[in-house]
Homo-oligomer: A and B are copies of this chain.
Amino acid sequence: MPPSLLPVITVFERSPDRGKGLARDMRVRWAFEEVGQPYEVRLVSFSAMKEPAHRALHPFGQIPTYEEGALALFESGAIVFHIAERHAGLLPADPNARARAITWMFAALNTIEPPILDLQTTRILERDKSWYEQRLPVVEDRIRERLAELSDRLGNADWLDGAFSAGDLMMVSVLLRLKASRLLDEYPNLFAYVARGEARPAYRRAFDAQLAIFTSQPSTGR
């Protein structure tokens, strides 16, 4: 088989969220769909992710990775930015607006996602600890503080800074991780913002593509 001419990303062979679209490949799929760039997918098992061949692509043994010719990247933020830089549709042409869109990408990943990750880690890895019930509201309050600030900034706008950008793509993707927690419901404008992201045709196509991997696996049952 000749090497693919399309960019190839890695995704979970088995979706840990049962196809809810919360794995980080979804951000990359969404970016590809927004700019109209076809891509290929390589499935990776949980055990293969931790083996040297995959770690050569991703030092932290995770997905997604991105390969195109001699270039190999990891980190969903870096991959989405790479796609956004090379195609029209995710970053404004005006230099100042472009720099602000990139700022929102970093804000999503470095200011909003860390407390949300802490909540997920707590739920998964500290559920059996004696402090679990007491600590959960502490973690949730840290998220609320960030959500309140983000809600104030967004106000009645559709997107964070003018037209939809890679900054919104990343922020919506990060906020989607809160869907199960109902924390988002406390901020109606953020709830509507996330729904606007999910309603985009590119998001729907990306979502359906990741779901298809899950629904095509016979052993997962019904």
Is B129 touching A134 in the complex (CB atoms < 8 A)? yes
Tell me whether A150 is interfacial, beta carbon within 8 Å.
yes
B interface footprint on A105-128 (CB within 8 Å = 1, 0 otherwise): 111011101100110010001100
Which chain A residues in 83-135 approach chain B with CB under 8 Å? 96, 99-100, 102-103, 105-107, 109-111, 113-114, 117-118, 121, 125-126, 129-131, 134-135
With an 8 Å Cβ cutoff, the count of chain A residues facing the other chain is: 44
* Known pairs A73-B100, A99-B82; A60 contacts B109 (CB<8 A): no
Tell me whether A71 is interfacial, beta carbon within 8 Å.
yes
Q: Which residue of B lies closest to A145 (CB)?
A: B60
- Copies per assembly: 2
Is B111 touching A99 in the complex (CB atoms < 8 A)? no
Which chain A residues in 62-87 approach chain B with CB under 8 Å? 70-71, 73-78, 81-82
- Other-chain residue from B61, B77, B131, B146 in contact with A131 (beta carbon distance below 8 A): B131
Is B131 touching A103 in the complex (CB atoms < 8 A)? no
Question: Could you say which residues of chain B place their CB within 8 Å of the CB of A78?
Answer: 99, 102-103, 105-107
Main secondary structure of the interface of A (DSSP, over half): helix
Interface on A for B, CB 8 Å cutoff? 55, 59-61, 70-71, 73-78, 81-82, 96, 99-100, 102-103, 105-107, 109-111, 113-114, 117-118, 121, 125-126, 129-131, 134-135, 138, 142, 146, 149-150, 152-153
